Homo-oligomer: A and B are copies of this chain.
Amino acid sequence: MKEEIIYHIDQDVIELNNPVMIVGLPGVGHVGKLVADHMVEALDAKKIVDIYSEHFPPQVMVKEDSTVELVGNRLYLAKTDKMDLLILAGDSQSTDPAGHYRLCEIYIDFASQFKVNRIFTLGGYPTGVINAEDYVIGAVNNIDMIDELKEKNIQFSPSEPPGGIVGASGLILSFAKFRNIDAACLMGTTTGYIADPKSSKVLLGRLCDILGIEVNADALDEKIKDMDQIVEKIKDSVVGEDGEEYYEQAPASEEDLVYFG
C-alpha cells in the first residue's frame, strides 16, 4: 500500500460554490490541527475523502467504542452561505522527508480537482514564551495577498519564521504556486511546549474574519480551561532576562506535546 484514497462522494459530479481549502494538520502546539478539527465539528462538516499512506505511522487509533481507525488524513466539506470549505484534517504528517512531498502532491491534487480558489494552511509559531501576545504571523505564495491579510490583522515580518516553514503548511504554499492557486500560511504564536487551544482560538478568529464567516468557538473555550489547569501545574517557570516567562526545559518534540484534541 503506497497510498490509498477512499472517496465517500461522487467526486465527478460534485460542484462546489466558491471553494476554499483549509489545512490544519498536527504541528507546533497543534495550533492548526485544533482549528481544523474544531471547524469540522462546529460547521458539521461531512467527510468526503479518507487518505491513507505508508508515509503515515504504521498505527491504528482506538476509538471510544473500541473499534480501530487507521492513521490518516481526511478531507471534509463544510457548506456556508458565502463559500464551500474543504477542510483537510488528520492524525499525522509524514514520518519521512520524501513522504511530505508525496502527500502534499495528493493534497494539491484535491485542490485542483475541486477547483479551489484559495488555500489557507494553519500552523503554530513557537516563541518559547508563555504569555505570548495574541497575534498571527503570515506568509504567502503571492505577494498580492499581503495587503488584504494585513487589513485582517495578520502580521508580516521580513523572512519570518527565520527557519522557514516545515511540513505540509509550507510545501502546500509552493505546490499551490506551481498550479497558480493563491495560498497563505497563517501561524498562531504559541509556546511550542504544549497543545495551545488559546492560540487556536485567536487563529480561528482571524481566519473567520478573512473568510467573512462565523464559527462558534465554545468547544475551544472548554479546551482552553483544561489547558489553563495544566499550565498552572507545570508553571515551574523562570523569568528570563527580558522579563518574559520561559519554561526551564527545551521545547518538547512534536510527539511529546500534550495534545487534548
Contacts and interface: CB of A to CB of B under 8 A. Distances in A.
A98 B55 contact: yes
A34 B86 CA distance: 43
Contacts of A127: none
B64 A165 contact: no
Given A59-B165, A102-B54, A159-B62, A170 B68 contact: yes
Nearest to A91: B164
A95 B95 contact: no
A20 to B, nearest CB: 19
A157 B160 CA distance: 44
A94 B58 CA distance: 10
A135 to B, nearest CB: 14
B57 A166 contact: yes
A158 B96 contact: no
B57 A174 contact: no
A156 B64 CA distance: 10
Interface in A53-67: 54-67
A126 interface: no
A67 B140 contact: yes
A182 B104 CA distance: 33
A167 B141 CA distance: 31
Interface string A32-67: 000000000000000000000011111111111111
B166 A66 contact: no
Contacts of A247: none
18 contacts: A1-B102, A1-B105, A58-B98, A58-B171, A59-B165, A60-B139, A60-B165, A60-B174, A62-B159, A62-B160, A66-B139, A67-B139, A67-B140, A68-B139, A68-B174, A69-B174, A70-B171, A96-B97
Interface of A: 1, 4, 54-71, 94-98, 100-102, 104-105, 138-143, 146, 156-161, 164-167, 170-171, 173-175, 177-178, 185
Q: Which A-B residue pairs are the 6 nearest by beta carbons?
A: A58-B100, A54-B101, A70-B174, A60-B170, A54-B98, A66-B156
